[in-house]
């Protein structure tokens, strides 16, 4: 019996560790790799959780600031102002929204304890101003209090100017002059000085509130402010969002000392360091661990701007792949290998989270201009719009429309105005075609500074559902166009940034093309190829369009 007992004991001794190892390995094999991406836009805060193994978005949520936090009294996320050029928001609103969305995730049963890393994006250019209390406050966030309570008394400026603010024309001119003009400002910082950019906003603050500026110990962007809350310490500003400040040396990705001097005194001391998007700052703050059950080993990473995050969220990893967002404003953007800046100062270059750079041109007269044409001709809906468009030939028999219903960014048009050349104002079909042909030819003309011929365009936004419009896009741009439907592309891009940061921290050497695969595929069977005959027509018509623009300007 003793021999049998010894044998059984030995078998049990062997079996238990082996079984334990098997169960542990099985758990590790099937443990989901979850990553959280957050996006603080003008009007809302969105959360996206991805499972990297299944290549699926497992959770998404958005909180509208006006509806969820009505006590801040914002309209479309912005505080009302007597001056129509001034557009500010409360940084406390963004902090309270962060508390609220974590509470919502906890209530919805999101496995916060299994999140491996968190990253995010914020509306570009918006700035937050802290006094000397900020470091201690971030390092001692009390989970028994709200973030708003924890942050009382840390702001040197109660409100934050956001990207919609256009009250700094004088400051833009002053910075531009000190840096040698439009060409040199763009060459150094990636963009000409624009009213919404952070540098001109800082300069105005320094001039109008010098005492408050002196008390400012640290300046953050919307993105780095929220990243600081997640990390429990002042977070770096990434190369993508930093390029939207007119303060960063776009080629060397360091603060440009001449730009800093042109903007405000002692500015270098008030800015955090620069870092790559997704760079690991450290573990997440204990505040979110103790209050919401976030994984204590989750990594907090550097956030970026919403446009650079969308480059990742739309899968624009390869140079030559671009996106056209057909929204309130139309934007053309994508990844490029070399830093090529726009001498005319209409376009922008930002650091890309995928490495290298991203180029972007924004056109203010987007969907509202298309809507205006519909209203002018009493067109019931977009189906009828498409039918009228089909009744006209590519090139519109040489008819040209310049649809500047509002002041335009590219080209720079300060006074709104509608201009027609060889185009009958009474012809509804011709004007339906003319509006989109003009928008696409302007996009092609004013993106030539990039020195890149797009190989493929991913079309997104409301108007991307219209096949007739996408055919014009393919013909004018002479490349394939596919429709892409990525909900919350900036938040998805942020989640992928979190995954990239976590993998890189573990020496996994992640490849972006592999990382985005499965998350950013275009709509099946949506590809539209250019018509060679129409391409030749538009190649010739582009010259006339450029002449018409010059004449009108």
Q: Cα–Cα distance between 151 and 236 in angstroms, integer?
A: 19
Residues 6+ apart with CB under 8 A from 532: none
State the number of CA atoms in the 13 A half-sphere of 534 facing the CB. 18
Q: Quick one: tokens of 295? A: 């994984």
Instruction: Say if residue 24's pLDDT is above 50.
Output: no
DSSP state of 506: T
Could you give the 3-state DSSP secondary structure of residue 222? Answer: helix
pLDDT tens, position by position, 281-300: 999 999 999 999 999 999 99
* Average pLDDT over every residue of 56-79: 96
Q: Which of 300, 316, 236 is nearest to 490 (CA)?
A: 316
* Average pLDDT over every residue of 26-52: 86
In the prediction, which pLDDT does 13 show?
37
pLDDT tens, position by position, 217-242: 999 999 999 999 999 999 999 999 99
Q: Yes or no: say if 36 and 115 are a contact pair by the CB < 8 Å rule.
A: yes
Q: Yes or no: say if 229 and 137 are a contact pair by the CB < 8 Å rule.
A: no
Query: How does DSSP assign 402-462, residue by residue?
Result: EEESS-BTTTTBSS-EEEEES--TT-HHHHHHHHHHHHHHHHHHTTGGG----SEEEEESG
Tell me the torsion sign for CA atoms 224, 225, 226, 232. Answer: positive
In the prediction, which pLDDT does 507 show?
87
pLDDT tens, position by position, 329-360: 899 999 998 999 999 999 999 999 998 999 99
In the prediction, which pLDDT does 411 show?
93
In the prediction, which pLDDT does 508 show?
87
Tell me the torsion sign for CA atoms 159, 163, 164, 166. Answer: positive
* CATH code that applies to domain 315-485+523-553: 3.30.420.40
More reliable by pLDDT, 15 or 404? 404
In the prediction, which pLDDT does 414 show?
81
Q: Which of 298, 282, 154, 286 is nearest to 215 (CA)?
A: 154
Superfamily of domain 40-308: ATPase, nucleotide binding domain (3.30.420.40)
pLDDT tens, position by position, 154-180: 999 999 999 989 899 999 999 999 999
Q: What mean pLDDT, rounded, does the chain reach?
A: 93
Instruction: Say if residue 20's pLDDT is above 70.
Output: no
pLDDT tens, position by position, 184-197: 999 999 999 999 99
Q: Cα–Cα distance between 523 and 525 in angstroms, integer?
A: 6
More reliable by pLDDT, 135 or 14? 135
Instruction: Say if residue 501's pLDDT is above 60.
Output: yes
Q: How far is the CA of 191 from the CAs of 86, 187, 352, in angstroms?
A: 22, 7, 15
In the prediction, which pLDDT does 30 show?
59
Percentage of residues in the chain having pLDDT higher than 70: 95
* Average pLDDT over every residue of 48-66: 96
Instruction: Say if residue 8's pLDDT is above 60.
Output: no
pLDDT tens, position by position, 85-138: 999 999 999 999 999 999 999 999 999 999 999 999 999 999 999 999 999 999
Q: Quick one: tokens of 388? A: 């009228």
Q: Cα–Cα distance between 551 and 548 in angstroms, integer?
A: 5
Q: Cα–Cα distance between 312 and 114 in angstroms, integer?
A: 23
With cut-offs at 50, 70 and 90, classify the pLDDT of residue 26: very low
Residue spans in the chain of domains classed CATH 3.30.420.40: 40-308, 315-485+523-553
Q: Cα–Cα distance between 333 and 418 in angstroms, integer?
A: 26
Could you give the 3-state DSSP secondary structure of residue 117? Answer: strand
In the prediction, which pLDDT does 462 show?
82
With cut-offs at 50, 70 and 90, classify the pLDDT of residue 485: confident
Least confident of 29-38, 146-155, 410-419, 538-547: 29-38
Instruction: Say if residue 442's pLDDT is above 60.
Output: yes
Buried b (16+ CB within 10 A) or exposed e, 248-275: bbbeebebbeebbebbbeebeebbbebb
């Amino acid at each position: 019996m003793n021999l049998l007992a010894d044998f059984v004991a030995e078998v049990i001794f062997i079996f238990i560790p082996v079984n334990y190892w098997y169960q542990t390995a099985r758990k590790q094999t099937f443990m989901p790799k979850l990553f959280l991406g957050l996006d603080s836009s003008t009007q809302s805060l969105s959360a996206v959780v991805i499972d990297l193994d299944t290549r699926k978005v497992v959770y998404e949520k958005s909180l509208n600031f006006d509806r969820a936090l009505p006590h801040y009294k914002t309209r479309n996320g912005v505080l009302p102002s007597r001056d129509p050029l001034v557009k500010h928001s409360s940084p406390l609103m963004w902090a309270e929204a962060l508390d609220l969305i974590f509470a919502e995730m906890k209530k919805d049963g999101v496995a916060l304890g299994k999140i491996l890393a968190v990253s995010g994006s914020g509306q570009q250019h918006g700035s937050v101003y802290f006094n000397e209390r900020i470091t201690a406050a971030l390092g001692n966030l009390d989970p028994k209090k709200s973030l708003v309570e924890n942050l009382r008394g840390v702001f040197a400026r109660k409100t934050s100017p956001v990207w919609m603010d256009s009250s700094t024309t004088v400051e833009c001119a002053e910075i531009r002059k000190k840096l040698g003009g439009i060409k040199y400002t763009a060459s150094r910082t990636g963009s000409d000085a624009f009213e919404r950019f952070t540098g001109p906003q800082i300069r105005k603050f320094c001039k109008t509130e010098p005492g408050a500026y002196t008390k400012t110990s640290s300046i953050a962007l919307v993105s780095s402010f929220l990243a600081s809350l997640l990390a429990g310490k002042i977070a770096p500003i990434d190369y993508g969002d930093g390029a939207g400040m007119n303060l960063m040396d776009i080629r060397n990705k360091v603060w440009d000392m001449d730009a800093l001097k042109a903007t405000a005194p002692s500015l270098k001391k008030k800015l955090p360091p620069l870092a790559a998007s997704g760079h690991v700052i450290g573990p997440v703050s204990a505040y979110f661990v103790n209050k919401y059950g976030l994984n204590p080993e989750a990594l907090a990473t550097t956030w970026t701007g919403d446009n650079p995050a969308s480059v990742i969220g739309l899968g624009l990893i390869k140079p030559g792949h671009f996106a056209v967002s057909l929204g309130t404003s139309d934007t053309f953007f994508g990844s490029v290998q070399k830093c090529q800046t726009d001498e005319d100062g209409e376009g922008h270059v930002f650091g890309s989270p995928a490495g290298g750079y991203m180029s972007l041109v924004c056109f203010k007269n987007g969907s509202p201009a298309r809507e205006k044409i519909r209203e002018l001709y009493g067109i019931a809906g977009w189906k009828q719009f498409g039918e009228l468009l089909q009744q006209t030939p590519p090139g519109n028999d040489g008819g040209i429309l310049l649809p500047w219903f509002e002041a335009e960014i590219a080209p720079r048009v300060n006074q709104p105005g509608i201009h027609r050349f060889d185009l009958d104002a009474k012809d509804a079909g011709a004007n339906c075609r003319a509006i989109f042909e003009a928008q696409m030819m302007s996009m092609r003309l004013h993106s030539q500074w990039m020195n890149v011929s797009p190989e493929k365009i991913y079309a997104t936004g409301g108007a991307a559902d219209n096949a007739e419009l996408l055919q014009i896009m393919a013909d004018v741009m002479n490349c394939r166009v596919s429709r892409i439907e990525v909900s919350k592309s900036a938040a998805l891009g942020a989640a992928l940034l979190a995954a990239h940061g976590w993998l890189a921290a573990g020496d996994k050497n992640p490849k972006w093309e592999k990382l985005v695969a499965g998350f950013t595929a275009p709509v099946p069977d949506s590809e539209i190829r250019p018509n060679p005959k129409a391409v030749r027509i538009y190649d010739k018509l582009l010259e006339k369009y450029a002449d018409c623009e010059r004449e009108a300007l």
